[in-house]
Structure 1
């Protein structure tokens, strides 16, 4: 089981002071959080990709390359890479390059994003979002696995005898998660390729995501990749913790009430009841996170959103200390307890290289 954090990189005013960080401060804060994530024992750091204010992470590979040079074991990921508006050839080459620089500590999450205008900014039609996601990933998948590619599709110029460079490290491409909050077509796509499915269920009630994950697991087995229980699932979550639950609620409430994504809507109490958001003590965070397995089955990756809504860097660093010292050890122990032996661990480059070598040896 892998645990980590993801960031959307929003530049939001602190509602308690009225001050917003500069873009420079926010970018530097994100890389500080990545280094802190490794320090406290987390496994994964993931950054979003956005091309509009108030967000700053428009170049995930640049940021992750910087972090790779300053960390040793942290898996570097995205949340998400825009498969609809990025050229698959550029994704193939950029992330293979990052994979080499990070010695394999790279995977990525494919998604369509949540900003409609990004489509025309990059010359695409939002009405073609699902077909773009399907076709572009089919090309990316082939580019990483075939040394010479001939390709013709609907949405880009054909390729003839093309080789993307560099080739994936050790002949094994980065692991891919397909992220979706609403589209069964994306769950189907993840299942077809035997890739991971990430349900960032931080906004909608769990019943919706139970249906998506259930579909993915069923179709994963249908395509012959394993049993439904062996499908590779990742989940989102949100935490704000203090030693005393009342202190956590009192401190976080103004950030929640004014957050661009969910402020001025349901109350904090309603939101924590219906979604994965935990605002309380470390024990409450542990107890709620453990219910995710009851709802979705054994899974492989848990990422928490902790640095949004204008929370100051100092506060988020304190949150990561609590997560690493008081919450993470218990979650690791409890999620490991009773986990079936045939349920896979979270994907790593080393494990995937070893699996490929075993397959090669068995076929010769």
Structure 2
């Protein structure tokens, strides 16, 4: 199972001091967060994509390429890449290039985003959001798997004899997660292609998450990719920790109350009761995170949000230290207990390359066997 950090990259004033970091400081802080994640033994760093204040990560592949040069083991991902407003040709090119630069330590999460105005900014209509997600990914999927593509659709100009360059590293595209918190159509899309489904459940109660994940698992099996238990699932979560739970609540409350993503709504206590948000001790984070398996089943990737709402970088790095030193080692051990043998490991480039090689070998053997059988039949007939 993979554990990591995701960031939405907000530039938010610290409510306890009134000071907001500059965009430069926030961008550099995100790099420091990624490097700290690798230092403490986490597996994944994922950056959001936004094109509006108060967020800065408008070019995730640029940032991830920079981080790739400064890390050795960390898987670099997104949370999310906007499949609706980005040209799928550019996504294919950018992530294949990043794949080469990072020696395969790359995957991506596709989503529609949660900012309505981004659609007209990039020449699209928000009323076509689902249709854009479906059509654009159908093209992206082909661009990574076919050397020459002829294509025509509703939302971009046709392609004739087009080859996306560079080609995916080792002939294997980056693994794709389809991220959604509310749209069953996206769970269906993930299942259809046999891709991963990431439910960023930081906003939602367990029953909603259960329904979305169960839908994806059932449809994954329906399309013949394996059993429901073999579907590839990722979850989000938001944590803030201190040694004493009362200290954690007292320190985090002003940040929660002013958070641009979910501040000025339900109280911290209400939100913590109804969603995966955990504000307390490392032991409380462990207990609540282990509970995710009760409604999502055995899953492959857990990402935590730790840097939202103006938290100082020093505080964020302390959170990552606690995750790496106290929380994740216990989670790895506990999640491994009782995990059925048929549940797949989290996707990695090396694993995808090995699977592609095995599939190719099996296909060659089947073809050879078919030819031999055909030959034998012909000889017998004679």
TM-score, normalised to structure 1's length? 0.99
Partner Cα distance (1:67, 1:264) in 2: 34
Structure 1 residue matching 2:4: 3-state secondary structure: strand
Equivalent residue for 2:228?
Answer: 228
Equivalent residue for 2:249?
Answer: 249
C-alpha deviation, 1:258, in angstroms: 1.4
TM-score, normalised to structure 2's length? 0.95
Partner Cα distance (1:106, 1:264) in 2: 36
Query: Equivalences for 1:114-153 in 2 at 5 Å?
Result: 114-153=114-153
The answer on 1:267 being equivalent to 2:267 is yes
C-alpha deviation, 1:241, in angstroms: 0.4
Structure 1 residue matching 2:63: 3-state secondary structure: helix
Partner Cα distance (1:73, 1:316) in 2: 21
Equivalent residue for 1:2?
Answer: 2
Partner Cα distance (1:234, 1:305) in 2: 14
Q: Deviations over 1:307-363 (max 9, x none)?
A: 000000000001111111111110000001110111001100000100110111111
Q: CA RMSD in A?
A: 0.5
Equivalent residue for 1:172?
Answer: 172
C-alpha deviation, 1:264, in angstroms: 1.9
Query: Equivalences for 1:18-29 in 2 at 5 Å?
Result: 18-29=18-29
C-alpha deviation, 1:286, in angstroms: 0.3
Unmatched runs of 5 consecutive residues or more in structure 1: none
Q: Deviations over 1:145-173 (max 9, x none)?
A: 00000000000100000000000000000
Equivalent residue for 1:79?
Answer: 79
Partner Cα distance (1:145, 1:262) in 2: 39
Partner Cα distance (2:205, 2:295) in 1: 11
Structure 1 residue matching 2:181: 3-state secondary structure: coil
Partner Cα distance (2:261, 2:313) in 1: 19
Whose radius of gyration is greater, 1 or 2? 2
Unmatched runs of 5 consecutive residues or more in structure 2: 365-382
Partner Cα distance (2:51, 2:41) in 1: 31
Partner Cα distance (1:310, 1:244) in 2: 22
Equivalent residue for 2:343?
Answer: 343
Confirm or deny: 8 A CA contact 2:82 2:112 kept in the other structure: yes
C-alpha deviation, 1:190, in angstroms: 0.1
The answer on 1:89 being equivalent to 2:89 is yes
Structure 1 residue matching 2:198: 3-state secondary structure: strand
